[in-house]
Amino acid sequence: MTETRSELLKIIEARALKRGTFTLASGRTASFYLDAKQVVLDSHGAMLVGKAILERLQSFGELPDAIGGMSIGADPITGAAVTIAGTAGLPLKGFMVRKEPKGHGMQRYIEGPVEAGNRVVIVEDVTTTGGSSLLAIDRAVEFGLKVERVITVIDRLAGATEA
């Protein structure tokens, strides 16, 4: 585990982990909740998430053209990783996937400086069953993007990998 990931894990445990009874986005009930926004919407946490995502992308070899995922969970992750890449002089674009297209303007599911044929990685804050990731993949493919993989900050180990 890298130093960045180790420090990020400590912050996730301290800030994001909540105990109790919670209903997850998947509809399942859980005895703990991981509120990743408590980490990714903090300057230090965002820096660590952006750095960890960029390190992970670099471990695969060539960087994708862009990263993004379902709004609202993926938005701060995308922004952090794109910013860290920019400060390192690395080209990386970001995009957002809407649940529903806007009723005005371009009326698209995909927003951002991406175009058909771009190689992309989907990012998530927390995955449980993988449903949000699968929807993001479907929307990206419909737009003409080439999805190479999915990266999540927190995997609840409840079936997302298998999905």
**pLDDT for 18 beyond 80:** yes
For residue range 20-40, what is the model confidence (pLDDT) as tens digits?
A: 998 877 788 889 888 999 999
For residue range 114-163, what is the model confidence (pLDDT) as tens digits?
A: 999 999 999 998 887 678 899 999 999 999 999 999 999 887 666 555 55
Q: What is the pLDDT of residue 137?
A: 96
The CATH architecture annotation of domain 46-155 reads 3-Layer(aba) Sandwich (3.40)
Residue pair 120/22 in contact (Cβ under 8 Å)? The answer is no
So where are the chain's domains?
46-155
Contacts of 79-82 with CB under 8 Å at 24 or more apart are 79/46, 79/50, 80/40, 80/46, 80/47, 80/49, 80/50, 80/53, 81/49, 81/50, 81/53, 81/54, 81/57, 81/123, 82/50
Q: What would the mean pLDDT of 87-103 be, rounded to a whole number?
A: 93
